[in-house]
Structure 1
Amino acid sequence: MARPLTSGLKSISTAVLPDRYRSIFKFPAFNDMQSLCFSTLYQDDVNTVISSPTGSGKTVLFELAMLRTLVANNIGNFKIIYIAPTKSLCYERFQDWSARLAVLGVKCGFLTGDTSAEEIATVKQADVIITTPEKWDSTTRRWTDYDRLMTIVKLVLIDEVHILKDLRGATLEVVVSRMKYIAPHARFIALSATIPNAEDIAEWLGQQWNSRSIPAQLFAFGEEFRPVQLDIHVYGYPARTTNTFQLDKLYDSKLPEILDAHFAQKPIIIFCPTRKSTVSTAKLLAKTWMKSREAILSCRMDPGRHFQDNELDELSRAGVAYHHAGLSMQDRVMVERMFLGRKILIICCTSTLSVNLPAQLVIIRGTSAWIEGQVQEYTEFDMHQMMGRAGRPQFDTSGVAVIMTTRDKQSKYEQILCGQEVVESCLHNHLVEHLNAEVCLRTINDIESAKGWLRSTFLYVRMKKNPAHYNIGATGSSKTIEESLDHLCTENIARLQTSKIVETSDGNVLVPTTYGKSMALFYIQFQTMLNFMNAGVGMSISDILNMLVQSNEFKNIRFKQGEKKFYKEINASVGIRYPLKTADIKDSGEKVSLIIQFTLGRPEFPAYDGSGKHITQFHSDKAIVWQHVQRLIRCIVDCKIQALDALSVRNALELARSLQAEIWDNSSNILLQLEGVGPATLRKFLNRDVRTFADLAGMDSLSIESALSLNRGRGMKYLQDVEKMPRFEVSLKKLRETPDTSSVKITIQVAVKLMNKTVVKMYNRKLLTVGFLVELSNGELVDFRRAM
């Protein structure tokens, strides 16, 4: 239950903390909220949920719980897991805590990217692991030595726990439920923006490992606990269209009057939905609104050039700038520096800036943006992060946040910002994938344990409170909540069994098949996995590529206004190995295929009037595609190995190598992977019939210098670079046929040459003769079955 809160409580002095910790964490005097939570966080071990306004000093609460763990445990005998919804928020914590905790010998690890074996090894050495829900889910699916690791997890910190209701909330819900199971003695601290049903999160977490039926300790703070008063205004405008271009024009026309109403001659951040709109809005303000503000001309930049981007450099002289991921890092850092120095008064930016800079006035210009390839509404987390830049305690005494939206959405955002929107679960929408992962991790062993696991989730808590939201009882069904939960569980387990992703052995024990393990390991959606499993045999590279690009993971990548001409030009270029035959390119899979093929083929971008704006968007879409392609192709390889489909395996592996290198495996562009080799250098090599790394390694320095017209001694760098490339050599050392001639026993020697050193590994395998191709040194292809 929530403790009674009194905003007039006398603050507890930070002097109650040990000197060495107080100096390292540089605590200011505790505010009222921190004082009220102090005894629970620092002097107790119960799980705790705190709901509090943005900017009220919640990070200190995490640090108090961390200090409790540091005081009670020796370094090396504990792990603290910090989970936050975005990489930028994680990186902010990593930078801050790494520097301060290093004095104590405490190591921080930051989980990002594709969770490689090297990254996992590094994080295993860390005492504080900082990660997003997705990366922690992926990591815990891959680790096998749980027993040692999870017994020393003492504290799990969950930031912005209210994202449970967003699309990504299911992953957070699953990883926290998993941690409750595999690290049962861990303490959980969850922080949230102001929400009306924080008690449901407390009920879900439970008080302690041995008293889960008792809710966690709950603190719910209102707006009066915000140290800097934030005035929030939601303006709704009548809109006759959902067209983003028309809405942009509407919002831009209303900006001047909003600035006039709330401008206090202090820094302003305007969040725009797209990179293009950050530029157009900045231009508009520099040309009109800023021009008439004589009192702030002192904010203009110093004489001289400051930015690589020409438009940005010009606009900055009017005290206006734009900021987005398409700018160079140097320009982005300069914008931020000049904004903090008051040389730039207004930044028009995308939401990527939302955790970096403070301002007195924040304007969110429209509540929809291009997110992962499609127009989506900002999540509540996004909104709070953007508004949270207004009126930060260390910079201002007050702040103003303005939200511009359409009139039909005005009340929705007023509810969200007042903390009146109830947090619901999204787990039921993604249950089949998560059930499979838990079966693979052995947190679920049979139907009954699956039901028990489901009862440990936030979904169960909310199903009991609001059954209509989950379609329980909404149609007059007589099923109880428990019966509905059982049906939901058995129905999804049956889908996994019917699909041969999970099977039953030893009575009723649920066991993942090879397909199920691959699906969990590579984070594959259920329908995508079915497509991979049911694909035909003997697939060509073109067939595999077509299957890959139709994956559900790419469903949000769509054509944007004016892009079709750009992609038709790409489809007609010589670098596209498998051009699309359709005259009308409109499918998301077709766009993904052209993005992949263009990247691997390395042709020139289409050049026509207006094509430049699509190149920037191409790189943005490519980044989204490459978040998935490596996982997808590796899963396809696994599926084809399991299906004993040797030809498809060979072609899938070739495509996988190409995707990894971002160039076709057997193309004439291979040398572009070397540093310093561009199109012009490549042409010179090809003119000398140098096409592969082996060809280049066979040259001497003088030959390279002659081919490239280099000064003497400059060719040695190319030889040094190519020497670093690993070279594999495979040979058959023994070949013995068994009496029934159904199989052969061979020993394969694999030599890996790297930096003039050779590492040899021997593999003894029983190979059944069905079509596994081994190429001998004389070029002959010997046909074997895959290793059993």
Structure 2
Amino acid sequence: AAPTGSGKTVILELALLRLIQQHGNQACRAIYIAPTKASTAHDQALCAERAADWSSKFAAFGLKCEQVTGDTDTLGLQVLRHSHIIVTTPEKWDAITRRWQVHCLCNAIRDESDCLQQIDEVHVLNGQRGATLEVVVSRMRATHDMIRCLAVSATIPNACDISEWLYESSSERATSRPALLLEFDNSYRPVPLEKVVLGYAPGNMSSFLFDRSLDQKLLDVILRYAEGGPTLIFCSTRKAAQQAAETLCPVGADASSGSTYVQNRKLSALVLSGMAFHHAGLSLSDRQAVERLFSQGSVAVVCKCTTSTLAVGVNLPAHLVIIKSTKGYANASYTEYTSLDVLQMIGRAGRPQYDCSGTAVILTTNDMCDHYERMVTGKEAIETQLRIDFAYSLHKQLCEHLNAETSLGTIKSIADALKWLQSTFLYTRIKTNPRYYLAALGDSRDGYLDVAQVCRMLKAHRYAVCRVFYSCLHTTNVHAVLGQLMTKHCLQLETMLAIKNMGRALDLEQILGIVTRAKEFEEFSFHPGEKKFFNSLRRNSSIRFPVKGKC
């Protein structure tokens, strides 16, 4: 555990060198699990950047580094059999290892005498994707007894819990020691970082209007904290980035960049005043021009969109970083940034070559100040996302993963299921913080809580997971086939139950209706300008099954 910008990536590279030293360049194999989701082209580019960087660095040692993300097909996986370093994401590796027996890549990994699993930004366990990461790590450890784990994270108060979860390999967890834990404070960061959280009263404003109102606060924040250095402002949308830049147009008016050609007319006018905005909607040449001018000092302030080009993807170090509102716009709604997003953004503050200090300012609502104070100071504990707090969360996470382990043969009995649960971060946090999980189940008692008690309580509360917990043992051929299909295609329980109960007399329109209402499509939303097109398409006479209402 170490603060942002303290060299955690170098630790991962040193571990790879140690693996080469101990086992030679042909016998070593490492899996790097990136913190990005790789569900977008930009996230895949970030994984590609890591793979390209390590390919060039470790080529001299005869190592081959390959990328396995959402756009990697099955044929490409065959090539990875002879790869030494695999760069992947939790979701992709989950999909691959759910079909463990059919991928020669995984068989090769399983047959290795020693394997290194690297988990970057392990504090994402606290986010929505934490359950997938948790299950993937536990699955790898259950399949490969000799695998070594190296996890790096930002400063967190309960790093000891992660150490206990990643216990040293042994036949029984009870006889194993916690993994070696090394914690580093802010003194190890090459450029000291001051973190400031400012809260404002939103009143009756919506998230959109509150975000817009913060534009008027930016000038005061810049004058107070910039100290004449470059400023990077993270905004929730492309339009918000442009509006913020236009609000701040007078700032940095002494900067001269008129000789630089920029295609976007609005951007060109702002650049003349030392201001710019940056997002994926700009052409590549314009984005590169903004980055070059910012690094040269010709542009003093850049307003950057967080939804299209994430903070981890562009090299724009600044003296001052401002997060304008802590809610990002995604899937047609505003949601709070994850800890990974926030820490990556503030990590851009402080330039090692130019600054002796950096400043990160977070602008949020009054009621969220304490939350972000704890987050940036490393006082927010990491909780599992396989948690037992709400039926929906449990139904969405634990059911599917229990079924996957059953289909893979990891779980063959109730005893195996309990043993698997003991290998999860959920088990560690239940022991450490029982009140949090008991209260979620409506139980106010204190004290120790083991996994068997949790399962009995879940059954008493009639949670959906109980049905899967017992029925996913595939007592009949029908259950086995359904469970395996659910695992192979990464389907949610609700979707599989809907398919199972469809009946045999449905017509094509009814089948399409069931499929399109599946939970898996909830994350999809309209892109700007698409509603008009789809509404016109809906009214087209050639559409066989028109959708009622408007998009």
Question: What TM-score, normalized to structure 2?
Answer: 0.87
> Residue in 2 aligned with 1:91?
48
* Distance in 2 of aligned mates of 1:139 and 1:482: 28
- One-letter code of the match for 2:5? G
Question: Is the aligned partner of 1:256 residue 2:206?
Answer: no
Q: Is the 8 A contact 1:236 1:404 kept in 2?
A: yes
Render the CA deviation track for 1:735-785: whole Å, top value 9, x for unaligned: xxxxxxxxxxxxxxxxxxxxxxxxxxxxxxxxxxxxxxxxxxxxxxxxxxx
> Residue in 2 aligned with 1:167?
128
> Residue in 2 aligned with 1:433?
400
Q: Which runs of structure 2 are paired with 1:581-592 in the superposition (5 Å)? A: 581-582=548-549, 585=550, 591=551
Q: Which runs of structure 2 are paired with 1:62-461 in the superposition (5 Å)? A: 62-86=12-36, 87=38, 88=43, 89-144=46-101, 145=104, 146-152=106-112, 154-209=115-170, 212=173, 213-241=176-204, 243-286=206-249, 289-290=250-251, 293-294=252-253, 296-298=254-256, 300-303=257-260, 305-307=261-263, 309-351=264-306, 352-355=309-312, 356-357=314-315, 358-428=317-387, 429=394, 430-461=397-428
* Corresponding residue SS for 1:219: coil
* Corresponding residue SS for 1:59: helix
Render the CA deviation track for 1:318-373: whole Å, top value 9, x for unaligned: 22222222333343333323322333322211222412221111110000011344
> Residue in 1 aligned with 2:437?
470
Render the CA deviation track for 1:222-246: whole Å, top value 9, x for unaligned: 2222221111111100111351321
| Unmatched tracts of structure 2, length 5 or more | 388-393
Greater alpha carbon shift after TM alignment, 370-379 vs 488-497: 488-497
- One-letter code of the match for 1:285? L
Higher relative contact order (CA 8 A, sep 6+): 2
* Corresponding residue SS for 1:234: strand
* Distance in 1 of aligned mates of 2:204 and 2:523: 21
Question: Is the aligned partner of 1:519 residue 2:486?
Answer: yes
* Corresponding residue SS for 2:27: coil
* Distance in 2 of aligned mates of 1:329 and 1:561: 20
* Distance in 1 of aligned mates of 2:118 and 2:231: 32
Q: Is the 8 A contact 1:234 1:410 kept in 2?
A: yes
- One-letter code of the match for 2:70? G
* Distance in 2 of aligned mates of 1:461 and 1:70: 32
Question: Is the aligned partner of 1:487 residue 2:456?
Answer: yes
Question: Is the aligned partner of 1:544 residue 2:511?
Answer: yes
Per-residue deviation, 1:269: 1.2
* Distance in 1 of aligned mates of 2:19 and 2:457: 39
Q: Which runs of structure 2 are paired with 1:754-769 in the superposition (5 Å)? A: none
Per-residue deviation, 1:577: 4.5
* Distance in 2 of aligned mates of 1:117 and 1:69: 28
Render the CA deviation track for 1:408-432: whole Å, top value 9, x for unaligned: 1111111111111110101133100
- One-letter code of the match for 1:323? H
Quick one: structure 1 residues 557 and 113, their matched pair in 2 at CA, closer, same or farther if it must change by over 3 Å? closer
Q: Is the 8 A contact 2:5 2:189 kept in 1?
A: yes
- One-letter code of the match for 1:325? A
* Distance in 2 of aligned mates of 1:524 and 1:140: 15
Quick one: structure 1 residues 58 and 346, their matched pair in 2 at CA, closer, same or farther if it must change by over 3 Å? same
Question: What TM-score, normalized to structure 1?
Answer: 0.62
* Corresponding residue SS for 1:297: coil
Q: Is the 8 A contact 2:403 2:487 kept in 1?
A: yes
Per-residue deviation, 1:203: 0.4
Question: Is the aligned partner of 1:504 residue 2:475?
Answer: yes
Please tell me the root mean square deviation across aligned C-alpha atoms, in Å. 2.7
* Corresponding residue SS for 1:315: helix
* Distance in 1 of aligned mates of 2:276 and 2:158: 40
Computing the radius of gyration over CA atoms, which structure comes out larger, 1 or 2? 1
Per-residue deviation, 1:210: 5.7
* Corresponding residue SS for 1:369: strand
Render the CA deviation track for 1:395-452: whole Å, top value 9, x for unaligned: 5322110100011111111111111111010113310000011111111111110110
* Distance in 2 of aligned mates of 1:139 and 1:403: 38
- One-letter code of the match for 2:184? F
* Corresponding residue SS for 2:5: coil
Per-residue deviation, 1:532: 2.1
Q: Is the 8 A contact 1:431 1:492 kept in 2?
A: no
Q: Is the 8 A contact 1:373 1:557 kept in 2?
A: no
Quick one: structure 1 residues 484 and 559, their matched pair in 2 at CA, closer, same or farther if it must change by over 3 Å? farther
Quick one: structure 1 residues 409 and 562, their matched pair in 2 at CA, closer, same or farther if it must change by over 3 Å? farther
Percent identity, aligned pairs only, is: 40
Q: Is the 8 A contact 1:360 1:391 kept in 2?
A: yes
* Corresponding residue SS for 1:362: strand
Aligned length: 521
Quick one: structure 1 residues 122 and 84, their matched pair in 2 at CA, closer, same or farther if it must change by over 3 Å? same
* Corresponding residue SS for 1:513: helix
* Corresponding residue SS for 1:74: helix
Per-residue deviation, 1:192: 0.9
* Distance in 1 of aligned mates of 2:202 and 2:108: 58
- One-letter code of the match for 2:110? M
Per-residue deviation, 1:563: 8.7
* Distance in 1 of aligned mates of 2:311 and 2:483: 38
Q: Is the 8 A contact 1:301 1:344 kept in 2?
A: no
Quick one: structure 1 residues 347 and 353, their matched pair in 2 at CA, closer, same or farther if it must change by over 3 Å? farther
Greater alpha carbon shift after TM alignment, 525-534 vs 251-260: 525-534
Per-residue deviation, 1:147: 4.4
> Residue in 1 aligned with 2:391?
none
* Distance in 2 of aligned mates of 1:488 and 1:566: 50
* Corresponding residue SS for 1:231: strand
Quick one: structure 1 residues 474 and 546, their matched pair in 2 at CA, closer, same or farther if it must change by over 3 Å? closer
Q: Is the 8 A contact 1:440 1:512 kept in 2?
A: no
